[in-house]
Chain A
Amino acid sequence: MRGWDGLVSSALLGTERRPAHFDELPESIREQLGDGGLLDAAALATVYKRAGRKPLEGLEPLPQATGEDKPLPRRAAVRRLAAMLGGFQTAALGEWLRAADARGWGVPPEHLPALADYARGRSEYRPLVVKAAGRRASWLAELNPEWRFLHEAVADSNKVEIWTHGNAIQRRSWLRELRRRDPIAALEALREVWPAEVAPTRVEFLTLLGSELSLADEEFFEAALDDRSKEVRRAAAALLARLPGSQYGERMAARVRSHLMVSQGVLAVTLPSRVDAAMQRDGIDPQPQEGIGKRAWWFRQILAAAPLAASEPEYLQLTVEGCAPEVLQVAWAEAAVRERNVEWARALLQTKAATGNRIAELLRVLPDDEWVPALEVLRAQVDLAELVGGLPVPWPPALGQMVLDLLMKVGTGRKWARLASIAARAVPPEVLNHPITREPTGEEDTWRLRLVETLIFRREMYEELS
């Protein structure tokens, strides 16, 4: 305002040194001021200034997010979501999001910031939040750098600019999406940019090709075995080992055959005496892990990377000579998990073979209707919580039923707490109405209380979302 600065400098210096001049003030103020002093003039000017406030000009509104919103679930369901974001039974958040999405419900947009913050440090939640954010996903990602992961939503593989100019997250999801739709085109897209990418990016992109593997990829992977980065070479070897019918598989199978021989019910092993350049190129690591001899380590890697077809499940029954039988069993377990070979997995679990720590992974290879009978046998040797903890969630109903039946019968011992806490989250919606939720529980029966609390919470959650 005209004259205001003069008032301020008079006030700063003091009217004794710099008497206030009102001539520069707007006419209307001077008229009302009469014989008032500096503070009277300042009060008038202040109110004029405040009242003269105009809207800001020249601001561009943000672009509108494109697309449609999904309908919202009932208020009770939304209240439960808010409670979980407030810290109440937060572990069920992912399940709520999945269930809501499966039923076609959207998430009230005001909860997206809290969800995005929650998923920022928990990558397993990110795809769920991307879905929940719907048309707002990349819109919000543009506004808040901390939510960049929401860009996953723009994986539209028809837009090649995302591949050439997008950020790392966008490019990753673009490649993943293209690989799903057109595996060969994805390979070609990667081949074009390959020499220009840094090693960690090459590893990441290479790993993305792990879905939709085919022999069309073989040449590219073989070339990557000569890459200057060790991590790239290792990733390429791992992919080739998963590629049925590859040259790599044949090389490994030939190595196995030259070191394994069956004769008169005995499996004779001749451990390799050295690691040659060709073996190293195929990803064999010459440096042994702790607790295993050098030569046994080399052979274990060869056997684990070779196609299972180079051996027979019956070998598990044979006496082994020339090597500890565990070396072979651990290698076969690794191969069975990699190939998802049901026959081998079943054989390894039934013979109580050494599996390293792959017992739960082997269990996952079995069709899920075999889980309960397999577990009934296995739990004699391994803790049940250990076994079921590695199984994907939600469990098949039969497994949920079995575990809850068991927990209903056992006492209050602390040793069941871990199984109860796994089961609380893993039993599927079909068994949430299990009789255990209607049994009275004592105050001090902590794991049982928590289990029942969680089961009831989840049951109601599904009811509200239906």
Chain B
Amino acid sequence: MGPWDVERVLALAPDAASAKAGQSQANPAKWSEQGSSERAVWGLCQGSGKKPYQTIVDLSGPAYRCSCPSRKFPCKHALGLLLQWSTNLIAAGSEPPWVTEWVEERANRADRAAERAEKKPGEVVDPLAAQQRVARRMERVAGGMAELRGWLDDQVRQGLSGFEQRGSAELSRLAARMVDAQAPGVAGSVRRAAGVVGRGHGWPGELLEELSLIHLTVSAHARLAELPPSLADTVQSRIGWTVETARVLAEGEKVEDDWLVLGRVIEPDDHLTVRRVWLRGASTGRLALILNFAAGGRQLDPLPGRPGELVPGVLSFYPGVLPMRALLTQSAPRLPGPRPSGFTAKQALASYVESLAADPWNERWPLVLADVRPARNGDGWALVDETGGLELLPGVDPWKLLAVSAGDPITVAGEWNRAGFKPMTCWHTDRPVVLS
């Protein structure tokens, strides 16, 4: 594993003062016996006392250990150490015993915790109680769906005019009701519908689109037993049922390949940061999505690889009619990847259409566009080739992409939704460039 970006290291700092203090510790003159291995970075830092501080960063967490008295976490020494590592100042070396000891003790602890967690269902949980919980939830969801159906029918009968005044608040209340009904997926759809109200003069049409797809979910839920199993899984996940990781790992479809990291999108939020990493199998051509969440300003898991790299490994796919979401298991060390092949604008849209045919709710679709050139599109931008153009998502900063292209045809990977294309990665000749 190569060093992390400086930005990534600085993002670990608990506050701005720590980031600054960390930078002042990034001075090799203060350090001795530094080194790094695949799993850790370490060093001795001369502080004000006689005895230097022992600092270790376990990269798998990351987890930190430092003999300094700081209560900040990570402390400035750990940050300073990582900063030097990130600017290639720390050579690879073999771990001294004090490092190996701690890292292995940590790994053992993690294994034991995992073992306990695995044993848990059989030992602790009462299967009957679990079944009852599921049954109770199904009942509440069914109640929520019935309420939603009634509400939708009322709106259509009485008319959406006047929604501009009352609609937003009413939809927010409805979304909260759906959360209570343990249908968080539908709650999200309702909130999205609330966001459309009053926006631009075409909002009634857009609101009708959103409400009709919620209605589609409600109708599909009513016929859940009749649906093919994979479609039923998709409907369930739209409503907000999650599939347990253990079940995905055990029963999910397994695909082994060298997975090219097409790019990533991070959507930060006060409460929950969402990260989507899009992958494409080098030999299977299979598309996949690794979703990560981090609550309350916590760190996301490390990326499986940088955009443009190949991650050899096995993906376990979540069930569904358009299986995209997956978990990565058994990955081998990542490798530099080639510039990927891609679609024309027309082929790219056609692939999105196919995805919609399978899953009418599909909102995001990874695209690799080959040999497209930037163009102005009104106040915004687009990527064009001889088959036509795809507009960039409004609000996307186009400048890196424009600067790399210089007007030349270029390969770009991005995320498509019906509002536009969000570039994630482009290739400057054969070198991947991260755009988002």
Contacts and interface: CB of A to CB of B under 8 A. Distances in A.
B382 A59 contact: yes
Contacts of B158: 14, 16
Nearest to A436: B29
- Residue among A80, A88, A441 facing the most chain B CB atoms (10 A cut-off): A88
Contacts of A76: 87-88
Nearest to B158: A14
Contact of B30 (A53, A72, A441): A441
B340 to A, nearest CB: 18
Given A11-B156, A11-B204, A15-B156, A86 B7 contact: yes
B215 A59 contact: no
Given A16-B157, A62-B407, A53 B353 contact: yes
Given A15-B156, A438-B29, A452-B27, A139 B388 contact: no
B71 interface: no
A113 B399 contact: yes
Given A12-B159, A61-B375, A135-B406, A108 B384 contact: no
A456 B29 CA distance: 9
Given A42-B212, A50-B418, A59-B377, A65 B160 contact: no
A62 B405 CA distance: 10
B356 interface: yes
B360 interface: yes
B165 to A, nearest CB: 14
A79 B205 CA distance: 48
Contact of B161 (A13, A45, A50): A13
A62 B152 CA distance: 47
Interface string A50-62: 1111111101111
Interface string A332-361: 000000000000000000000000000000
A193 interface: no
Contacts of A402: none
Contacts of B346: 55
Contact of A136 (B10, B216, B376, B406): B406
A439 B27 CA distance: 12
Nearest to B6: A83
A440 interface: yes
A439 B157 CA distance: 82
Contact of B6 (A86, A143, A439): A86
B87 A80 contact: yes
A156 to B, nearest CB: 19
B4 to A, nearest CB: 10
Nearest to A113: B399
A293 B47 CA distance: 60
A46 interface: yes
Interface stretch (A27-35, A94-102, A174-182, A442-450): A442-450
Contacts of A11: 155-156, 159-160, 204, 208
A194 to B, nearest CB: 38
A14 B157 contact: yes
A46 B189 CA distance: 15
Interface string A129-157: 00000011001100110000000000000
A460 B27 contact: no
B422 interface: no
A112 interface: yes
A453 interface: yes
B387 A443 contact: no
B349 A53 contact: yes
A438 B373 CA distance: 51
A63 interface: yes
B110 interface: no
Contacts of B283: none
Contacts of B349: 53-55
A115 B47 CA distance: 36
Interface string B24-56: 101111100000000000000011100000000
B376 A449 contact: no
Interface string B145-173: 00000001101111111000000000000
A27 B93 CA distance: 71
B371 to A, nearest CB: 11
B135 interface: no
B5 A79 contact: yes
B389 A453 contact: no
Interface residues of A, number: 70
Contacts of B387: 55
B211 A39 contact: yes
B6 A88 contact: yes
A55 B88 contact: no
A12 B373 CA distance: 41
- Residue among B360, B382, B406 facing the most chain A CB atoms (10 A cut-off): B406
A39 B156 contact: yes
A109 interface: yes
B250 interface: no
Nearest to A83: B6
A457 B219 CA distance: 64
Contact of A56 (B23, B29, B391): B391
A453 B193 CA distance: 54
A140 B403 contact: yes
A330 interface: no
B357 interface: yes
B204 A83 contact: no
B15 interface: no
Contacts of B157: 14-16
B345 interface: yes
Interface in A205-261: none
Contacts of B357: 51
Contacts of A14: 156-161
B390 A55 contact: yes
B433 A110 contact: yes
A113 B400 contact: yes
B408 interface: yes
B301 interface: no
A432 to B, nearest CB: 13
A83 B4 CA distance: 11
Contacts of A40: 212, 215, 219
Interface string B79-99: 000010011110000000000
B428 interface: yes
A339 B357 CA distance: 81
A159 interface: no
A110 B388 contact: no
Contacts of B403: 109-110, 112-113, 136, 140
A311 interface: no
Contacts of B10: 86, 88
Interface string B209-244: 101110110010000000000000000000000000
A7 B47 CA distance: 73
A165 interface: no
Nearest to B161: A12
A309 interface: no
A414 B373 CA distance: 56
A82 B6 contact: yes
Interface of B: 5-7, 10, 23-24, 26-30, 46-48, 83, 86-89, 152-153, 155-161, 204-205, 208-209, 211-213, 215-216, 219, 345-346, 349, 352-353, 356-357, 360, 373-377, 382, 384, 387-391, 399-400, 402-404, 406-408, 418, 428, 431, 433-435
26 contacts: A8-B204, A14-B159, A16-B158, A39-B211, A43-B360, A45-B212, A53-B418, A55-B389, A56-B391, A57-B388, A57-B389, A61-B407, A62-B407, A76-B88, A79-B6, A82-B7, A86-B10, A88-B6, A88-B23, A88-B83, A108-B428, A143-B402, A440-B30, A441-B30, A442-B48, A449-B27
Given A83-B87, A442-B48, 15 more contacts: A8-B208, A11-B156, A13-B161, A38-B156, A39-B211, A50-B418, A54-B349, A109-B406, A110-B403, A135-B406, A136-B403, A136-B406, A440-B30, A444-B48, A449-B27
List the 10 shortest-distance A-B pairs measured between CB atoms, nearest first: A55-B388, A14-B159, A42-B212, A64-B407, A61-B373, A113-B399, A56-B389, A43-B212, A39-B215, A65-B406
